[in-house]
Amino acid sequence: MENCFICRKHNGLEAAPPGGYIYEDKHWMVCHAPAKLGPLGTLFIESKRHFLDYAGMTDEESVSLGNVMKKIYAALRLHTNAERIYQVTLMDGVPHFHSWLVPRRKDDAERGMKFLARDDSCNEEDAIELANKLREAMK
Ligand SMILES: [Zn+2]
- Measure 28 CA to ligand 1 centroid, in angstroms: 12
- Measure 12 CA to ligand 1 centroid, in angstroms: 13
pLDDT at 2: 86
What is the per-residue DSSP string for 20-50? S-SEE-SSEEEEEPPGGGSSTT-EEEEESS-
- The CATH number that applies at residue 132 is 3.30.428.10
- Measure 138 CA to ligand 1 centroid, in angstroms: 24
- Measure 83 CA to ligand 1 centroid, in angstroms: 32
DSSP state of 98: E
Write out the residue range of the structural domain in which residue 56 sits: 5-137
Distance linking the first and last C-alpha atoms of the chain: 29
pLDDT at 1: 81
Number of domains in the chain: 1
CB 18 within 8 A of CB 125: no
pLDDT digits (tens, 9 = 90+) for 37-80: 999 999 999 999 999 999 999 999 999 999 999 999 999 999 99
Is the pLDDT confidence value at 33 over 90? yes
Average pLDDT of every residue of the chain: 97
Question: Which chain residues have CB less than 5 Å from ligand 1, an ion?
Answer: 1, 4, 6-7, 50, 96
Q: Under DSSP, is residue 17 helix (H, G, I), strand (E, B) or coil?
A: coil
What count of other Cβ atoms lies within 10 Å of the Cβ of residue 3?
Answer: 6
pLDDT digits (tens, 9 = 90+) for 99-123: 999 999 999 999 999 999 999 999 9
pLDDT at 85: 98
Give the integer Cα–Cα distance in Å for 77 and 121: 19
pLDDT at 109: 94
- Measure 131 CA to ligand 1 centroid, in angstroms: 23
pLDDT at 44: 98
Is the pLDDT confidence value at 88 over 90? yes
